Amino acid sequence: MSEPKNQAAWLIKAGSPLEVGDAPLPKAGPGELVIKNVAIAINPLDCHMQDSGVFIQQWPAIFGCDIAGEVYEIGKDVERFKKGDRVIGHAINLISGRPQDGAFALYTVIPADKAAILPDEIPFTDGVVVPFALEAAVCALCLKEPGIAMPGVSTPALGLPYPSLRDVPLLGKILVVYGGSSSVGSMTIQIAKAAGIYVLAISGAHNFDFSMRCGADRVFDRKDSSLAAKIIDTVRNNGGDFIGIFDAIATPETYANDAAILAQLTKGHLACVNPPPPADSVPATVKSGMIFAVDDVVTPVWKDYVTPALQSGKLQCLPTPLIVGKGLEHIQSALEKAKEGVSATKLVIEL
């Protein structure tokens, strides 16, 4: 039987539209899987990579992080998977730079340690919203030692417990999630709650129900002029240990509110999806940094948590997907739609 033909959506240079063309069929190295992609998803990071070429290590490039599909080939020393398994996975072109490690293709290589079986009852287009957000959320919450996100920018280390499949008692710790209706923000709420954290979410008023569905204990309107004061009062009245803020939006507007909250609470972490605000804008007692969404700290979650949590409903495929089209040629329009901004949904392309 002849080998299948691979194609990809190539980025030829920064700031240019993607071009669909032939690509080599990847091979699985030790500890790797080749996935025949059925669905891929778009993240804000993808837009930054296309526009500026950030993190691109070789040209032309194939990038993208979220895949769902079937195992096509298994590398040496891989035992958890077999050919034909339905899986979701996190592609790591972000750190490897190899084109075969990008999601925007018909076939993608991923580390077996960044994949999990997708239960039969969950469609690929639902499951594909999970991988990048899961990786970012666990990196945000569970790192115990600071790392390096990019030159001159450290990653925060909140050192929280891993999510549990059991219903765990509250640990007496409070986390603020800014952007509770975003993909990464909503996943961070889910993972934090599964670890026993009390979560205060900030989102648009029209997304309160969504943030509560993810598990938030309280939700606050991002447009409320007294937002910072209400968060401060809630933290103080709760009596728990304030961990800090995870800012899944990370814009000048959100940083201003972060600074106002932290100026009064004067401790904890500020974990951001973009480079953090200037050090002099937050108290010296606050540790701020940028989340880098690839780390081995997530391996136990991929291996032991994701599949049973999806089966039990402990982990939900949220936000719900918005399917932009079918075929690699629709990735470019999905990226353009992502740049316009979406909330409480994730843009997905079927293949």
What's the mean pLDDT in 234-252? 93
Please say whether the structural domain 6-129+320-350 has been given the CATH code 1.10.150.120: no
Position of tokens 């495929």?
A: 317
What's the mean pLDDT in 34-43? 98
269-272/218-221 β-pairing: unpaired
Burial class (CB in 10 A: 0-12, 13-18, 19+), 238: middle
DSSP three-state, residue 93: helix
By mean pLDDT, which of 62-76, 131-145, 317-331 is the weakest? 131-145
Q: How many CB atoms lie within 10 A of CB 53?
A: 17
pLDDT at 142: 93
8 Å CB contact between 232 and 264: yes
- Sorted by where each begins, the domain ranges of the chain are 6-129+320-350, 134-290
For the entire predicted model, the pTM comes to 0.95
What's the mean pLDDT in 289-312? 94
What's the mean pLDDT in 325-350? 94
What's the mean pLDDT in 31-58? 94
Distance CA 271, CA 290 (A): 6
Q: How many CB atoms lie within 10 A of CB 68?
A: 30
8 Å CB contact between 10 and 19: yes
Per-residue pLDDT tens over the stretch 127-185: 999 999 999 999 999 988 776 666 666 788 888 999 999 999 888 999 999 999 999 99
**64 or 3: which carries more pLDDT confidence?**
64
CATH classification code of 134-290: 3.40.50.720
